Structure 1
Amino acid sequence: MRPQSLTPLFAQVTALPGIGPRLGKLVEKLAGPLVVDLLWHLPFAVIDRRNAPDVAGAKAGEVATLTVVVDEHLVPHSPRQPYRVWCSDETGRLCLTYFNGREDYLRKLLPPGETRVVSGKVEIYQGEVQMTHPDHVVPLEQRETVLRVEPVYGLTAGLTQRPVQKAIAAAVERAPELPEWQDAAYLARQRWQSWHSALARAHAPAEESDLSPIHPARARLAFDELLASQLAIALVRHHNRTLAGHATEGDGRLRKAVLASLPFDLTASQKTAVEEIATDMSKAERMIRLLQGDVGSGKTLVALLAMLICAEAGAQAALMAPTELLARQHHATIAPLAAAAGVRLALLTGRDGQKQKKETLQGLSDGTIHLVVGTHALVQEDVEFADLALAVVDEQHRFGVHQRMALSSKGYAVDLLVMTATPIPRTLMLAAYGDLDVSKLTEKPAGRQPIDTRTIPLERIGEVAQGVGRQIATGARVYWVCPLIEESEEIDLANVEERFRLLSERFPGKVGLLHGRLKSAEREATMAAFADGRLSILVATTVIEVGVDVSAATVMVIEHAERFGLAQLHQLRGRVGRGSAKSTCLLLYAQPLGETAKARLAIMRETEDGFRIAEEDLRLRGAGELLGTRQSGLPDMRLADLAAHGELLQAARDDARLVIDRDPDLQSERGKALRALLYMFRRDDAVRTLRAG
């Protein structure tokens, strides 16, 4: 169903001149398998080859394009010596130097007595003008092709600039003129060119400033990508909204019982979130809401209150967590509260015994179990619900889209509440979810103390270990986080196994080890020993980043903190300060620190506000790395830079909403042009939604 006009762009990259099967594999690794992928691979630098002095006027360190006559080849006697080709013009001599040069190839490239145009970086060696491995050597009649500003593209091992430049130029040539999909008034206001002209311009930068993300050609292409993304999200949302949901309203009795059993009041933002969720659930259309809250802001309690609405209405609710550890923790938090309300709660994981599993499955299918907490065991085929009305998904970026869908499909038009402790900056929220409804928990629960965060150079690790010894003598518990599991030859980073060995020698019997390669039974035994105080120090990788809850832990040591992203440091720090005792976070760093690492550590010292930290992380790292787009279900942006194009993202969202309001099936002239845009950016699933809808 893809428009015919796009066919040339969906050919394999090997259809382009100079790209055979061997280079094709490398180009695929660099940009993607299709011609269209190369269009989105924009240059990151320029080389100006218009400087064309005579040999005597060539200056060291400059890129110059020289027109010379080839005089003689000096073939080396040993392969260790360079191959030299002497050339000249009326003003002086030029030596072209090649290491490991092949004589037959170089004599063909530079035939003695002929004129050649050579371009590259000039060096002056012992008073002679020299060029090592010139970038270009062409006959005189091709001089104009060299005298230009040349785009420089990112490469991968085994690729050089020439074939990539040639292939991309051919890809741009293949790009068809397409009907305009942008709103005419907006296009005129921005003074943007057509898509095709903007594409050609972005690949032919004339100077450094043309590489800026706000240059009109690049901004236009970024807006196209953002519009495709926002339109795809809006189409899917529109489709989901038009599927009738069912209203779920409770009478409040179970929620009242739970709130009465709590030794504290809800925070203001918890109350607001509960109200927003209850309002959404009472409507006939499906709820899709994101609950964002910092580590320890009380999301599980909000989720439970939402789940109780279902129980009050005689329906069921499920909470799905990404790991067994996390599922068990949610269950442990919720169980006494569910008991206070007299509601039956079950836990379902992959490690349940046959008898227990059978009882749970029976209770879910006959409706006697109202609430269930579990891992992705909840989405297995043998799990059936009597009436599932609400699915709560925790740390949703750790699940694939199909797992979320699978849980929702266990009932009819199930309401969806997605929870995350990774505060997502507003721009990323828009990019990933369009205008998903969001509830934010901004305060910490009462009684939580601020965490004292300090940065310490790694050379002082001995003092840190002494301090840790003093702390555990008072009964405190300590996390010690390292970046790697075992020694790696390439990167010399502290690794958990080595740190575990050293700390165990110092504090025998007091240290546990936790990392992702241990069997889950071992991990859980170690966690349990740390939680109940048999172990005082837990040496771990970032597996403890999400959802490990030990309120007696008051010290967090992070080695090589400069290697972690801000969001990750913030998550790790959130593992301490969960009780009422004073907590400390020590960030150990290796000298010298780069600018970005310095900025990161400074922000960690200044604030504990996860939302501010997320915005800073976006600014310092860019969106691509922020949530590891591959696994988070976030769109992978090739042209748009969310830190630079925040306003364009907002405009794209507004435009997408207008399109859906006026032409939800994309049948108008502009609608048909927008379909081509969706295909071009591989948002075919949204087009399929149109057909299915």
Structure 2
Amino acid sequence: MRPSDLDPLFASARSLPGVGPRMAQTLARLLSREKAEDVRIIHLLLHLPHAVIDRSTILPIARLPRSPGAVVTVRGHVLEHREVPRGARTPWRVLLSDDSGVLELVYFHPRPDYLRRILPVGEERIVSGRLEWFDDKPQMPHPDHVVTEEAFAALPRLEPVYPLTAGISNKVLGRIMRAALKRLPDLPEWLDEHLRAREGWPAFAEALRQVHAPENAESLAPDSPARLRLAYDELLANQLALALVRRHIRSARGRRLTGDGTLVAKVQATLPYTLTEGQRKALAEILADMAGPERMLRLLQGDVGSGKTVVALLAMVAAVEAGAQAALMAPSDILARQHLASIAPLAKQAGIETVLLTAREKGKARKQALADIASGRAGIVIGTHALFQEDVTFADLGLVVVDEQHRFGVHQRLALQAKGARTDLLVMTATPIPRTLALTVYGDLEVSRLLEKPAGRQPVKTSVMPIARIPEVIVRLKTAVAAGAQAYWVCPLVEESGVLPTTAAEERFAMLKEHFGTQVGLVHGRMSGEARDAVMDAFRAGDIRVLVATTVIEVGVDVPSATIMIIENAERFGLAQLHQLRGRVGRGSKPSSCLLLYRPPLTETARQRLKVMRETDDGFAIAEADLRLRGAGELLGTRQSGMPQFRMADMVRHARLLEMARDDAALILARDPKLESPRGAALKRLLYLFERDEAIRLLLAG
């Protein structure tokens, strides 16, 4: 199925000289491949260097730079070997001299015969490597290259520097890469010629040659023509694959979920507030999708506290009104129960039965829940991963809502959708996703955004201070608690770590108990669900005034009376997580505050992060800043979210290319839906090269 001209690139890395079984294992680790046999030549070629060493200038020893760690090249005569007895701990030294001075070559754990062979006394050699200074004398420990004049002529003057792993040196990887480059075929061009000419980009194979065998350091710059070409190729493969997958899902006939609006109106009438303009617009978009003939695929994005849950509830009520069932999948037990507490009473007003199903439901309770779901008595089902287990059967699942969608893998979402026929899907997130990132994960998935907060929400005043001022914080917290306030105190760990200099939740709980007695509670992920519920219920009831917690309270916990959020070791959290935690307060009518405690010294990134938190509470601005500071992979948790891992493209630097790739992919499929033209055939090669084979299978399946 794969075009034969790609065979050299999909040959095993074992076919390259110098790659035996052990080296293949090392390469698999370096390239994040599960097995050594999975490493192909194309995987090596897409592993790009990040810097370059210039060995073109030979310096006199007297003019060697004083900066430590500089890579230098020197020509000289071998004066003598300062030998050491076998087993001695002192290093073997070789003195190399030119007319201006002497350089010491230093070898630890020497192989004497080898050293005498490559550095014969009296002969001239060119050496290149990292320079060090000791007692005001230049030294070169274990030079990278020791060669004759003739051999030096064959060495690349500019040596690319690669990301490495234990067990492989840059010199060895460079040799393997040069062998891989020789296997690189010239392939048919898949880019639009006008685009390539306008941007001044080389062909794909030429771009790889320029990056792996650079003529100058500029070849490796993120905005060099070769790097931009490769980044665009990767983004185009991503956008084309997404468009094909999406078209395939859309081609599967949907169902029209429409009712007469009475149940939705009933629930809306019982709400203690009116919907915001954003909520009304989002609901209208969702209901229109559900009423259409195609399957709904919509993302509902809303900042912390923007009221996504009520929009999702009304969509689920609409599904029940149309004669189907709806399921809401939450990432944690706490959040699932929180949803049940807020949704069930409202759904009951419309005569809709709501059932909870998590891993905690056992025995008779679980049996009853499964029976209610299978019979259709349960109109709305709320749960965790437990919802897509084999023994869960729905009478007629019409709508799936996935909350905090980035915490679920793609396969988990599909597994739940598969419980129904032609099921609509609504995914929601309170982690605002920057537009560039949303495009790489969803392509052109329809997005509804809730930009304003419901009326009555209070702004949260954010302050930053060093952790050493905790005694002062406790004094102020005592005053606030005495006046009736409730507070969260968040720690990054459950128990003390010997590795990280952070205070654990259990240790902080013990310390605060001395000051607040029974008014302080503790909640973390290792507690049993029942114990956690009991503490949360006591906090909601006001019996507990200070809740010490880990990030288990990050999402969905709603206690409107809590007005103080203290986050310890705030420098250890990402921006999105800090924003989520801060969103647990400011949910009632009283002014709220958030205190970020940090342990100095701060890195520049941590300093920037805390500055952003102090200056804005706009979730989308925070998400863009997080993307800038951390990069895309870390932002959503790459492995967990099904986020594509880009090797060439950088979401911040290459945002312009992503927009171009999206438009290009749409135009390609509009003109050539089955990729049958010469350019279409070339684009199939692109999909193979960047491991988007799944899209080709969908293409062949029609």
Give the alignment's TM-score, normalised by structure 2: 0.95
Is 2:294 the partner of 1:288? no
Is 2:82 the partner of 1:74? yes
- Distance in 2 (CA, whole Å) between partners of 1:206 and 1:236 is 40
Superposed CA deviations along residues 491-535 of structure 1, whole A, max 9, x for unmatched, are 212222221222223322232222222333332232222222232
Which amino acid in the other structure matches residue 614 of structure 1?
Answer: A
Give SS of 1:555's match: strand
- Tell me the CA shift for residue 141 of structure 1: 1.4
Residues 299, 126 of structure 1: CA spacing in aligned structure 2 closer, same or farther, 3 A cutoff?
closer
1:164 pairs with one of 167, 170, 173: 173
Which amino acid in the other structure matches residue 525 of structure 2?
Answer: G
- Tell me the CA shift for residue 649 of structure 1: 0.4
- Distance in 2 (CA, whole Å) between partners of 1:394 and 1:280 is 18
Task: State the match for 1:6 in structure 2.
Answer: 6
Is 2:66 the partner of 1:63? no
Q: Is the 8 A contact 1:32 1:38 kept in 2?
A: no
Residues 205, 502 of structure 1: CA spacing in aligned structure 2 closer, same or farther, 3 A cutoff?
farther
- Tell me the CA shift for residue 87 of structure 1: 2.2
Which amino acid in the other structure matches residue 412 of structure 2?
Answer: Q
- Tell me the CA shift for residue 362 of structure 1: 3.3
Residues 80, 651 of structure 1: CA spacing in aligned structure 2 closer, same or farther, 3 A cutoff?
same
1:588 pairs with one of 573, 581, 597: 597
2:160 pairs with one of 151, 155, 162: 151
Q: How does 1:322-361 map onto structure 2 within 5 Å?
A: 322-361=331-370
Give SS of 1:213's match: coil
Task: State the match for 1:426 in structure 2.
Answer: 435
Residues 366, 489 of structure 1: CA spacing in aligned structure 2 closer, same or farther, 3 A cutoff?
closer
Q: How does 1:342-381 map onto structure 2 within 5 Å?
A: 342-381=351-390
Task: State the match for 1:47 in structure 2.
Answer: 53
- Distance in 2 (CA, whole Å) between partners of 1:249 and 1:266 is 21
- Tell me the CA shift for residue 330 of structure 1: 0.9
Give SS of 1:475's match: coil
Is 2:580 the partner of 1:571? yes
Q: Is the 8 A contact 1:66 1:117 kept in 2?
A: yes
- Tell me the CA shift for residue 663 of structure 1: 2.0
Q: Is the 8 A contact 1:13 1:28 kept in 2?
A: no
- Distance in 1 (CA, whole Å) between partners of 2:642 and 2:304 is 21
Answer with 83-92 or 673-682: which moved more: 83-92
- Tell me the CA shift for residue 591 of structure 1: 1.7
- Distance in 2 (CA, whole Å) between partners of 1:492 and 1:387 is 52
Task: State the match for 1:632 in structure 2.
Answer: 641
Q: Is the 8 A contact 2:360 2:529 kept in 1?
A: no
Residues 517, 175 of structure 1: CA spacing in aligned structure 2 closer, same or farther, 3 A cutoff?
farther
- Distance in 2 (CA, whole Å) between partners of 1:128 and 1:371 is 77
Residues 663, 194 of structure 1: CA spacing in aligned structure 2 closer, same or farther, 3 A cutoff?
same
- Tell me the CA shift for residue 160 of structure 1: 1.8
2:98 pairs with one of 66, 89, 103: 89
Is 2:45 the partner of 1:36? no
Residues 348, 109 of structure 1: CA spacing in aligned structure 2 closer, same or farther, 3 A cutoff?
same
- Tell me the CA shift for residue 223 of structure 1: 0.5
Residues 347, 135 of structure 1: CA spacing in aligned structure 2 closer, same or farther, 3 A cutoff?
same
Answer with 530-539 or 210-219: which moved more: 530-539
Superposed CA deviations along residues 538-576 of structure 1, whole A, max 9, x for unmatched, are 222212111112222211111111111110110111111
Task: State the match for 2:36 in structure 1.
Answer: none
- Tell me the CA shift for residue 228 of structure 1: 0.7
Q: How does 1:646-665 map onto structure 2 within 5 Å?
A: 646-665=655-674
Task: State the match for 1:321 in structure 2.
Answer: 330
Give SS of 2:8's match: helix
- Distance in 2 (CA, whole Å) between partners of 1:492 and 1:102 is 43
Which amino acid in the other structure matches residue 65 of structure 1?
Answer: T
Is 2:117 the partner of 1:108? yes
Task: State the match for 2:631 in structure 1.
Answer: 622
Task: State the match for 1:24 in structure 2.
Answer: 24
1:267 pairs with one of 232, 257, 276: 276
Give SS of 1:509's match: helix
- Tell me the CA shift for residue 126 of structure 1: 5.8
Task: State the match for 1:225 in structure 2.
Answer: 234
Q: Is the 8 A contact 2:301 2:449 kept in 1?
A: yes
- Tell me the CA shift for residue 597 of structure 1: 1.4
Alpha-carbon RMSD: 2.0
Residues 487, 345 of structure 1: CA spacing in aligned structure 2 closer, same or farther, 3 A cutoff?
closer
Give SS of 2:7's match: helix
Task: State the match for 1:678 in structure 2.
Answer: 687
Task: State the match for 1:470 in structure 2.
Answer: 479
- Tell me the CA shift for residue 92 of structure 1: 4.0
- Distance in 2 (CA, whole Å) between partners of 1:512 and 1:10 is 58
Which amino acid in the other structure matches residue 44 of structure 1?
Answer: H
Superposed CA deviations along residues 301-351 of structure 1, whole A, max 9, x for unmatched, are 000111121122222211111222211111111112112222222222233
Q: How does 1:237-636 map onto structure 2 within 5 Å?
A: 237-636=246-645
- Distance in 1 (CA, whole Å) between partners of 2:272 and 2:62 is 87
- Tell me the CA shift for residue 15 of structure 1: 3.2
1:190 pairs with one of 195, 199, 210: 199
- Tell me the CA shift for residue 59 of structure 1: 4.1
Superposed CA deviations along residues 364-421 of structure 1, whole A, max 9, x for unmatched, are 3333332222222222223322322211111111112222112212222111100111
- Tell me the CA shift for residue 122 of structure 1: 4.3
- Distance in 2 (CA, whole Å) between partners of 1:265 and 1:203 is 60
Residues 353, 74 of structure 1: CA spacing in aligned structure 2 closer, same or farther, 3 A cutoff?
closer
Superposed CA deviations along residues 57-116 of structure 1, whole A, max 9, x for unmatched, are 444445332222222101135834332112233444332223343323322331223322
Which amino acid in the other structure matches residue 2 of structure 1?
Answer: R
Give SS of 2:356's match: strand
Q: Unaligned 5+ residue runs, structure 2?
A: 34-38
Task: State the match for 2:143 in structure 1.
Answer: 134
Q: Is the 8 A contact 1:17 1:166 kept in 2?
A: no
- Distance in 1 (CA, whole Å) between partners of 2:525 and 2:165 is 30
Answer with 575-584 or 482-491: which moved more: 482-491
- Distance in 2 (CA, whole Å) between partners of 1:180 and 1:284 is 38
Give SS of 2:426's match: strand
- Distance in 1 (CA, whole Å) between partners of 2:422 and 2:317 is 18
2:698 pairs with one of 665, 689, 692: 689
- Distance in 2 (CA, whole Å) between partners of 1:684 and 1:220 is 21
Q: Is the 8 A contact 1:96 1:131 kept in 2?
A: yes
Which amino acid in the other structure matches residue 286 of structure 1?
Answer: R
Q: Is the 8 A contact 1:481 1:559 kept in 2?
A: yes
- Distance in 2 (CA, whole Å) between partners of 1:23 and 1:563 is 36
Give SS of 2:544's match: coil
- Tell me the CA shift for residue 448 of structure 1: 1.0
- Distance in 2 (CA, whole Å) between partners of 1:127 and 1:235 is 64
Q: Unaligned 5+ residue runs, structure 1?
A: none
Residues 311, 502 of structure 1: CA spacing in aligned structure 2 closer, same or farther, 3 A cutoff?
same
- Distance in 2 (CA, whole Å) between partners of 1:577 and 1:25 is 52
Which amino acid in the other structure matches residue 171 of structure 1?
Answer: A
Q: Is the 8 A contact 1:51 1:63 kept in 2?
A: no
- Distance in 2 (CA, whole Å) between partners of 1:568 and 1:524 is 22
- Distance in 2 (CA, whole Å) between partners of 1:616 and 1:128 is 47
Answer with 121-130 or 399-408: which moved more: 121-130
Which amino acid in the other structure matches residue 37 of structure 1?
Answer: H
Residues 110, 406 of structure 1: CA spacing in aligned structure 2 closer, same or farther, 3 A cutoff?
same
Residues 147, 221 of structure 1: CA spacing in aligned structure 2 closer, same or farther, 3 A cutoff?
closer
